[in-house]
Structure 1
Amino acid sequence: MNDIPIKDAATVILVRDADDGPQVLMGQRGKSAVFMPNKFVFPGGAVDLTDAEVTLTNSASERCMARLQEDADPDLAPSLLAAAIREMWEETGHRIGQRSERAPEMAHTQPDNWQSFFQSGCLPDPSGLEFIFRAITPPGRPRRFDARFFLGRADLIQGDPDDFARAQDELSHLQWIPLAKSRDFDLPFITEVVLAEVQNRLNTPDTDHPVPFFSHDGDHSQFLKL
């Protein structure tokens, strides 16, 4: 099991304000899923080779890009951001991007799994995402990922944030969950840890937070700071 390759992955935590406090967008994985069945998770998944080929209309912030490029192969950073946007689109039907009349005309020049995003009238834009957490799946799991977690506000979404009609059914029970009640759901351990980091950042928005890194040295897990 320890020989399972580790795939790069990207996950998105979107936050919005509500009368009962901040809410985060989450959904439930299927009971037959190989990885984390039945768990409530953030939208996300593995980086695809095509994510390096898609046209992004902007870059992330200088701080976000610097931390990504220090943390990994510098050429991987745009692919991670693209994967975050693509996974959000596929799993929730939400578009993180800019509306553009020329987007449908550009669709045929984009990778196949990106064309529906462009045909919807948007260009992918990662400029509102911030890199806040990194976690590698521990050994012994059926699949392993080197996941980077990106935080953004719900107003990055083009369209109704409560409309999940375009989702591709990879997650069920998509909903905005009050952050204060999120731990009442069946969550993976790492998701609970990331939620604590999100709360910390919301409580101290003007602080230059380090990026926590959940890593493994042989059979031992450890938390580092990037």
Structure 2
Amino acid sequence: MTRHSPTRADDNPGGADAGGRKPRRAVRPKDAASLILWRDGPKGIEVLMGRRHRDMRFMPGVLVFPGGRVDLADYRARLASDLPATTRRMLEISARPSLATALAVCALRELEEEAGLVLGQMVAGRLHPALAPLHYLTRAITPADRPMRFHARFLIAEARHATGDIRGSGELEEVRFFALTEIPAQPLAKITAMILEEFVAWMALSPQARGRRKLFSIQGRDNRLPEGAG
């Protein structure tokens, strides 16, 4: 994601999207990806999140996951490792093969840009993303009457695969691991809460069941639909 002034509406699909006047016609959703990086903490499962800058004009201070729009460079990134077959299969339900890879690259690029953590290798200042640790969770498409729309895919990785020191960015501040038990007390968009519910359900499954589970997408006004139903 291109860094910009925190006074501009950002393009992070991990929670809130930009407000404004309703468009005259439906805007085509932009392909995007977010990463749920998790670890075991003293109070149970923790996930990496950041707070939208308090100077943003829409939903300041709301917690989101690192994420953003797919860039052209995401299609050309040199990979440290490729996607697992199951993760690729799930991504390709809604994306052609080249986009499926670019979405995964996007999620890891955003992790580095917004949180300072690297999942892969930094070579001459460029990220060579390692896609092998990634799991697929779900996808969400924002409502047709929004001026900024995203078709966001949410991926999962365990924090032990990441290296580096956490830092904030011009878009996100207070980037840290939040215990699932403390998140309900934080400002949170409804879609982010729904994604967290999907994550909690995913964590409760065995590794074998995760690969066989029925997939859902979240569309429009928080409609949770089985894949293929909408």
Q: TM-score range, shorter-chain basis?
A: 0.7 to 0.9
Paired residue type of 1:177: F
Q: Distance in 2 between matches of 1:150 and 1:191?
A: 13
Closer, same or farther: CA 67–77 of 1 in aligned 2, 3 Å: same
Within 5 Å, which residues of 2 pair with 1:59-208? 59-98=82-121, 103-104=123-124, 116-118=125-127, 123-159=128-164, 163-165=165-167, 167-206=168-207, 207=209, 208=212
Equivalent in 1, 5, 8 of residue 31 of structure 2: 8
Q: Deviations over 1:120-171 (max 9, x none)?
A: xxx3101101111100111333311000000110011023xxx324x43320
* SS at 2:33 equivalent: strand
User: How far 1:98 sits from its partner (Å)?
Assistant: 4.2
What is the alpha-carbon distance in structure 1 between the residues aligned to residue 106 and residue 154 of structure 2? 11
Aligned pairs, number: 201
- Does residue 212 (structure 1) correspond to residue 206 (structure 2)? The answer is no
Deviation string 1:153-200 (CA, Å, 9 cap, x unpaired) is 0011023xxx324x4332001111101221111111111011111111
| Identity fraction in percent | 33
Residue 70 of structure 1 aligns to a residue whose secondary structure is: coil
Whichever residue aligns with residue 206 of structure 2, its letter is: P
Q: State the Cα distance separating 1:37 from its structure 2 match.
A: 3.3
Query: Do the aligned residues in 2 keep the contact of 1:35 with 1:143 (CA within 8 Å)?
Result: no
Aligned-partner Cα distance in 2 for 1:199–1:134: 15
Quickly say closer, same or farther: Cα 1:130–1:36, change in 2 above 3 A.
farther
Runs of 4+ in structure 1 off by over 6 angstroms are none
1:96-130 per-residue CA deviation (whole Å, 9 max, x = no partner) reads 1147xxx33xxxxxxxxxxx334xxxx31011011
Query: 2:37, 2:104 → 1: CA distance?
Result: 14
Give the AA of the match of 1:173. Answer: E
**Greater per-residue helix proportion:** 1
1:30 aligns with 2:23: no
Task: Give the unaligned 5+ runs of structure 2.
Answer: 1-22
The residue aligned with 1:57 is 80
Q: Matched residues in 2 for 1:186 and 1:77: separation?
A: 31
Distance between the aligned counterparts of 2:126 and 2:189, measured in 1?
Answer: 29
- Kept in 1, the 8 Å contact 2:78–2:129? The answer is yes
State the Cα distance separating 1:35 from its structure 2 match: 5.6
The DSSP-based 3-state class of the residue aligned with 1:17 is strand
CA contact (8 A) 2:191 2:222 kept: no
Supply the distance in 2 between the matched residues of 1:149 and 1:200 (Cα, whole angstroms). Answer: 14
- CA distance in 2 between partners of 1:175 and 1:39 (Å): 14
